Amino acid sequence: MNLNQLNLQEAKDGLKTKKFSSTELISDCLTQIKKNSSTLNSFVTVCEESALNEAKNADLSKPLGGIPIAIKDNYCTKSIRTTASAKLLENYVPQYDATTIEKLKQAGAIIVGKTNMDAWAHGSSTETSDFGRTLNPWNLNHLPGGSSGGSAAAISADEAIISVGSETAGSIRQPSSWCGVVGFKPTYGRVSRYGIIAMKSSTDSPGPITKNVDDAATLLEIMSGHDPHDATSIDENSWVKPKQLTDLKNIKIGIPLSYFPKEIQPEVKQSILESSEIFKKLGAEIIELPDVLDPKYSIAVYTILQRSEVSSNLARFDGIRYGHDRTFFGTEAKRRIMLGTYSLSSGYYDAYYLKAQKVRSLICQDFDKQFSQVDAIIGPVSPTTALKIGASEGQAMFGELQDMLVEPSSIAGLPGISIPCGFDKDNLPIGLQIICPQRREDLIYQLAKIFELNTNYHLQKPKL
């Protein structure tokens, strides 16, 4: 086995017992990155020299000592180029680390590169990147999803041991689903946003993308915790991974019927229903939820709120500070700025933005209502498996439609996870999402872990 194919625990055990060195582990990941660079295009920047230098002095006593990690390119990394996959920031090198990066470095992780993404995180395909699209390791004619498509593809292709992404309305879970890996989106505020290039500040949630559930939980332990630099940060200590469950007795799991829209791919629906049977055999009570608010309302709410916040957040990237003016924004960024400015303008604010905020409150209330009946909700991550190259072109609402089943929980600030649960007839991965109430990452971990122990979908690898 090449060392880059190891999961986090296997890599840590191997380093601890001196079966191999951090330099050897890093080298195997860099070799894999180089091998796939012209096809997958997972990385915008590769940190070969610095990673190998750090590996020589890796402190293996630390939780992530000597472990190679891939970082989504909207996290500020000191002395490493950070572009958000936008040409406007092509030469931007931050003078500081995002809080999450600081924590990962303190834990001993070694950055092997910054991963490709939709420019400014605007999209769900990684086709809007100004540095070229990323492709799906399972089929190079298909997309990896987005906006964290580079991170998901890198883990799927074993180009790193662990990675981090960020989610605003599905950008961790959807690409993880399409690439057949695990994506853990924490409660809003669980992980600091400080130092992450903002897209929609009121829902942005950094989180791990990994090869299995335990790896994701380990990363979340390190990434989480209160940050005085982030006013939206939850005032709690770091999250701690709970004990595994041996069965699911007394656990009620809900299946929202509205999460199976008419356009859903039949194989996706079948896999989710089969997954519910696995939970049922483990002792859970499966309850159909017939009155969950239709996700189509989340599409409208998210579109208005996201564009509005984009118009505000991107206003800072102007003039001499970053070296380019607004003409360097891509088409999608310009479109979102214009729509957002319109929604916030005098005479339209009440009709659009304020109304969207009111419906957002109704979505939150609806989840509260559902969670009074069940402990967790499961459903598909996306209506389809990975779509073909070019699917997003000319489709202004592509991202919203592909994320329609994860947008509601993101809007409500809820934690969620995507775990592999099957494959379609073309051997493209299918993801199962588990949603729980705010701050219940413990239950999400326990449900995802016991599902993983009783299936082998997460062990399947693409044939590159």
**Active-site residue numbers?**
72, 147, 171
Spatial separation of the C-alpha atoms in residues 398 and 408, rounded to whole Å: 16
Specify whether the CB–CB gap between 460 and 420 falls below 8 A. Answer: yes
- 3-state SS assignment for residue 403: coil
Q: Give the closest residue to 247 by CA, choosing from 271, 207, 214, 280.
A: 280
| Beta-sheet strand order (sheet of 43-46) | 43-46, 110-115, 68-72, 162-167, 205-210, 182-185, 416-423, 429-435, 376-380, 252-256, 285-289
Which residue pairs from 346-354 have beta carbons closer than 8 angstroms and sit at least 24 positions apart in sequence? 352/304, 353/304, 353/305, 353/308
Q: Give the closest residue to 299 by CA, choosing from 403, 385, 144, 227.
A: 403
Cα separations in angstroms, 3 against 20, 28, 151: 9, 6, 18
Spatial separation of the C-alpha atoms in residues 445 and 421, rounded to whole Å: 15
Specify whether the CB–CB gap between 141 and 147 falls below 8 A. Answer: no
Burial class (CB in 10 A: 0-12, 13-18, 19+), 19: exposed
**∠ at Cα 12 (9, 17), nearest 5°?**
125
Specify whether the CB–CB gap between 377 and 254 falls below 8 A. Answer: yes
- 3-state SS assignment for residue 150: helix
Spatial separation of the C-alpha atoms in residues 74 and 201, rounded to whole Å: 13
| CB neighbour list of residue 408: distance below 8 Å, 6 or more residues apart | 293, 295, 298, 363, 367
Q: And the tokens for 291?
A: 């009155």
Q: Give the closest residue to 424 by CA, choosing from 315, 257, 265.
A: 265
Question: Looking at residue 386, what DSSP letter applies?
Answer: P
Spatial separation of the C-alpha atoms in residues 457 and 445, rounded to whole Å: 17
Spatial separation of the C-alpha atoms in residues 154 and 174, rounded to whole Å: 15
Q: And the tokens for 365?
A: 């209330």
